[in-house]
Structure 1
Amino acid sequence: MSTSLLARVADGRKALVPYITGGITADWTDYLLACEAAGADAIEIGLPFSDPVLDGPTVQEASDRALARGATVASILADLSAVTVGVPLVVMTYANLVMRAGPAIFCARLAEAGVAGLLVSDLPVDEVAEVELAAAEAGLALILLVAPVTSDERLAEIARRASGYLYAISVMGTTGERATVAGSAAALATRVKAVSDLPVLVGFGISSPSQAAAAAEAADGVVVGSALMRRILDGATPGELAVDIASMRSALG
């Protein structure tokens, strides 16, 4: 995973990482294939959870819909095992789901399903050791979050322990569509790049091609979630979503 993204970034390509809630529709893995075809460099897959504290209303709605359909960690991983996607897949989840199975078992199951990376969004770096070890043993990249308020000392520790890429939160708050990209995004990306050779991707609030391009000026790419999930919730087909992703891909260059 790290090698894949680093190679693309080294060639001057800005990384585009769409987010899809697992189990959101019966044909949800078709959206993964659409993302790949439209130019995604990796795809984040959210495991639906009943108390998603970092997710805004759109992703919460998507999670609720997936849970109402009966989606579980097991069913989502089974779906992934049945499809071949040619870009790295990253599972984004909450600590409760990881600890319920146990980090070693959880990470092994992800790897068996073809997942390349793991992001536990509510797990602070002070408590990451057990998951870090389990991810390494399973061959998973461990994606860690950094925020505008992260201290320099803590930022260095996060950068040391992460692999794959670093996820830079553009604003303090939950995920969600926004009218503009926060000015703090560029400053944070610059700080992170000063202490790490990993790609730095900006997320939270990237809602349009122009915003994706603006956010990626100081970073190595972007993560796009709520804007895409709103389209799916409103009925967009995989083909229609691919058009949106291709527009962002074009804007990023």
Structure 2
Amino acid sequence: MNKGRQANSNAKHVAGITLVAAFIAFMMQPARADDPAKLLKAMSDYTAAQKSISATFDSDVEVVTPELEKIQFTSSGKIQLSRPDKLRISRTGGYTDVDFIYDGKTASIYGNNAKAYVQADLVGTVDQLVDLIQAKSGVAMPGTDLLLTNAYDELMSNVVLAQHIGQGMIDGVECEHLAFRGVDTDWQIWIESGARPLPRKYVITSKAVTGAPQYTLRIRDWKTDAVADADAFVFKPPAGVTKVDLNSGAMAEFDEIPPGTPSGARK
């Protein structure tokens, strides 16, 4: 009996050592290092192939004061896209409450705090619209560059170094963590692993600005098969609001930080 117990004890001891050794070997495995450009291209192709998209987001914009103190301004919102020519972005924060609506022919931006809106007759695709609005007004449109049909080309245009950092968890979803370096701007993106390579987190660092402020975007509640209500892309000005010119100084009221506050964390 003693020999039997001893043999059983030895077997358990060996099994324990084997289990520990296997665990250590597993933990010491090098992290999977996939091609970051390939992973980004898969995301771009997947989102571009979706005819309709909706998601919610939280965004943080950092600014650096003259005293080198970092201050963050936070907003939340929703994006709805119906390709090729319909888009709506709603964003609310401490200094902004804004709707951007495009129905394929007219672009409208309404600021609830400003009690004003701007409109422009623009016929084209969402891709063309995003480029034009950001170039003319400077209004932030969180995450729209991730949803363009040519997102890969836009994102990679100034990249000098790309890395696959490893895996991460965003809102409980396993993601591939990628990092990209540019001359003036670095950025990171977390892309959902598996069959739905959707962007879940996006961080832009402005290296050329003192203090290297960041823009952070978290995206969740992704739906790629829901048919949006046609009314979602129709703008009806509320009673008592003022229409202003697209190039007027009033456009500052539509931004997500207080007017006159400098910010370098934009891409």
With normalisation by structure 2, the TM-score equals: 0.29
Q: Which has the higher strand share?
A: 2
Q: TM-score, normalised by structure 1?
A: 0.30
Q: Which one has a bigger Cα radius of gyration?
A: 2
